[in-house]
Chain A
C-alpha cells in the first residue's frame, strides 16, 4: 500500500499487524487504529517513507510501514 501512495495522500489506519513488541512500539509512537497518517515524502532508492502522524514527522522503513494497514 505505502509504495503506491503519493506525497500528500492521507489514510486512516485500520489495523497494526506484527509481533507483540513491534505493534506496541508502533502504537507508542502514535500509530493506533483510527489514526490519520499523511505521506510527506519518500527517501530515495526505496528508503524510508516520511509520514505525518499526530503532528509529528516520522521516517519509517517500508518493511515496517507494511505493518500499518489502512
Chain B
C-alpha cells in the first residue's frame, strides 16, 4: 500500500453510505467479466439517477470485507474527455454533480496493453478520486513470458495496485481489501481540465516508459510462442471477398438460429400455456371468471412467454458475436457501405440489435460519438424487423404459404427482413442528403479490434438471462393489461354460450364497426382492425388479439392452429374471404414499416434528444405503412 494511506476502520459501516464502487477502464479489458465475478448472478440493469442510461449494478458477493457493497459497471473510456454519450455517462458517474463525496473507483487495466492503458491511470491520478488499480489478463501476459512488477507500478502511480482473476475468489478478496483501505475523500471531486496535445503526448511517453520499467521477463520463458489468433484470422475475416462471405455466413447463422431453432421451443411454450389455460378453466365454476382466466389472462401471459425462446436465442447470438471479438470486425467491414448512407461502422451493431428489439438497439447507439450520425441511426433502427414482429410474420406466412412448400416461407421471411433494411437504407440516405454538409465531424472514426476470445459460458448465460428478465419485466404488465381489456371488450355485454354471437354483439364489435372504413383499404374488417390497434401496446399482441376477435379459444389445442383455421373461415360482410393473398401481403407490408411500440417512442425521444425523430417515426412510419399496405392490396386484389 502506498504511504500515507491508512485503512479506515469500520468499513462495513461505510458500505451502507450508499456510494457504489465504480468499475472504470478502457474498452475490452475484462471489466464486465470482473463485474460479473464480483456481483454474481444478481446484477440488474439499472437507470442511474441523473443520467438516463442503462447500467449494470450489483452487490459484491463473496465472504470478504466487500460483501454487500454496491458495484457499478460503466462504459469503457480511453480518456476522461468524453467522446460519445456512453463515455459521458462514465464521466457523470465519476464526477456526480452536487455530490459531497466521490465514489470509490476500481480502474481495470489489461496488463498486456499496459503502455496504452496507463494513460487513463495518469488522468485519474490528477482528479484526486480514490482509485484502486486492478490488473487483468495476467495469464495472457504470462503466456507471453512476462510479468508486471506490482510494487514498482504502485510506487509510480501512487495508487494501490492488485492483480485480479475473475476465476480466483482470493484475488477478488484482495481487491476488496484494497478498496476498503482507500482513504476517505471528503472533498467533492472535480472533473479534470482537458489536457492539451502537449500534455497528452507527454503522458503517452510517460506511460510508455513506465510500462517498459515495470514489465520484466518471467524467470522461465514463455511456454510456447503462438501466432496470435487475430494474426491468422484477420486477413481472412477482413478480406475483400472472404470477409464478406464470413460476414453473410455469420448473419445467416444468427437468423436461422432465431427462426428455425426457436420454433419448436415456441410451439412447446404455446401448447403448454394453452393446456394450462384449459386445465384451469375446467377446474373453475363455468362463467365469466373461468373464461377470463383461460382466454384473457393465461392467453395474454402466453403471448409474452412465447417470445422468450426467440429473444434468448437472438441475444445469445449477439453476445457470442460480441464476446468472440467478431462484432468489431463486422462493424469495420460495414463502415464503408454505411458511410455512403450517412451512417458509420458503429451504426452496424445497433442495426443488428434492432432485429431483436429497437430499445436495446437505440441504447447501443451511444457508442457513436457523432450526434448527427447517432440520431440518424436511431431514426432508422425501428425499420429493422424486431422479434416482436416475428410472430405476426409467422402467423400470416403460415396462413399464406402452402404446407408442402416450407422453403417459400423462409424466402418470404428473408424478403420481409431485407425489405425493412432496404427501406432503412433509403431513408438514411435521403435524410443524410437533406442535412447541411458542414465541416466533417471532429471525432475520427477509430474502432478497436479486440483479440479473438472464446466466449465464457457463464458470462454468456448471464447476459442472456439478464436480457430475458428485462424483456419479461417490461412486457408482462402492458400485454396483460391489453389482453384483459381486449378480452372484456370482446366478451361483454352479451351473455350466453355461443362465442360467435357473443363476439358479434360485443363492445369491440360495435366500436370496431364504427372505424371499419379505415381497414377496408387493406381488405380487412374491424376484427383485424381491433388487433391492429391492440398491436400498438406491443406488436406481438396482434396474434392474441386476432384470436380473441375471431373467437378462437385454445381448448386443448395450440392457439396458432386454431387461429389459422379461423382465419381461413373469416369472411368480410360481402361473404368473400377476409384473409387472402392480397390482404395478407398488405398486412405484412404494414407490419414491416409501422412504428407501433410505445416504449420505442419514449426511448427514441430520450436517446436522440429530438422530438422530431420520435414523432417522425410514430407518424411518418405509420402513415407510410398504411399507404403502402393499401397500395399493395389494390395492386394484388
Chain A residues engaging chain B, CB cutoff 8 angstroms: 7, 19-30, 32-33, 40-48, 50, 54-61, 63-64, 67
Contact = CB atoms under 8 A, between A and B. Distances in A.
B18 interface: no
What are the 3 tightest A-B residue pairs by CB atom distance, in nearest-first order? Answer: A47-B336, A64-B444, A44-B240
Contacts of B197: 20, 23-24, 27
B139 interface: no
B446 A60 contact: yes
Which of B204, B240, B332, B446 is the most central at the interface, judged by chain A CB atoms within 10 Å of its CB?
B446
B204 A41 contact: no
B345 A48 contact: yes
Contacts of B208: 54
B115 interface: yes
B116 A30 contact: yes
Interface string B68-80: 0000000000110
A56 B447 CA distance: 11
Interface stretch (B54-62, B230-238, B472-480): B230-238
A44 B243 contact: yes
B449 A58 contact: yes
B511 interface: no
Contact of A25 (B83, B201, B204, B235): B83
A60 B336 contact: no
Given A24-B197, A28-B200, A44-B243, A55 B116 contact: yes
Given A7-B235, A57-B448, A43 B333 contact: yes
A37 B449 CA distance: 15
Contacts, number: 123
Contacts of A60: 444-447
Contacts of A67: 444
Interface string B333-355: 10111010000010000000000
Given A32-B201, A54-B116, A56-B448, A43 B332 contact: yes
Interface string B161-205: 000000000000000000000000000000000111100110011
B367 to A, nearest CB: 14
A19 to B, nearest CB: 5
Interface in B293-331: 328, 331
B78 A28 contact: yes
B204 A58 contact: no
26 contacts: A24-B81, A25-B83, A28-B78, A28-B79, A30-B116, A40-B234, A41-B235, A48-B447, A50-B449, A54-B208, A57-B230, A57-B234, A57-B448, A58-B446, A58-B447, A58-B448, A58-B449, A59-B447, A59-B448, A60-B444, A60-B445, A61-B339, A61-B444, A61-B445, A63-B440, A64-B445
Given A23-B197, A61-B446, 19 more contacts: A20-B196, A25-B83, A27-B201, A28-B204, A32-B204, A32-B205, A41-B234, A41-B238, A43-B335, A44-B336, A45-B240, A50-B449, A54-B113, A55-B113, A57-B448, A58-B447, A59-B335, A59-B445, A59-B449
B112 interface: yes
A67 B443 CA distance: 12
A45 B345 CA distance: 14
Contact of A22 (B79, B230, B244, B444): B444
The prevalent SS among residues of A at the interface is mixed
A64 to B, nearest CB: 4
Contacts of A42: 238
B434 interface: no
B156 interface: no
B115 A55 contact: yes
Nearest to A33: B201
A50 B443 CA distance: 18
Contacts of A30: 116, 204
B446 A29 contact: yes
Contacts of A24: 81, 194-197, 200
Contact of B336 (A25, A43, A57): A43
Contacts of B576: none
Interface in B407-466: 440, 442-449
Contacts of A56: 113, 116, 448
A25 B443 CA distance: 8
Contact of A45 (B200, B336, B440, B448): B336
B230 to A, nearest CB: 6
Nearest to A19: B442
Contact of A59 (B116, B440, B446): B446
Contacts of A54: 113, 115-116, 208
Contacts of B35: none
B119 interface: yes
Contacts of A21: 442-443
A27 B328 CA distance: 21
Contacts of B115: 54-55
Contacts of B78: 28-29
A59 B443 contact: no
Contacts of A29: 78, 446
A60 B208 CA distance: 22
A25 to B, nearest CB: 6
Which of B81, B112, B335 is the most central at the interface, judged by chain A CB atoms within 10 Å of its CB?
B335
A30 B234 CA distance: 21
Contacts of A64: 444-446
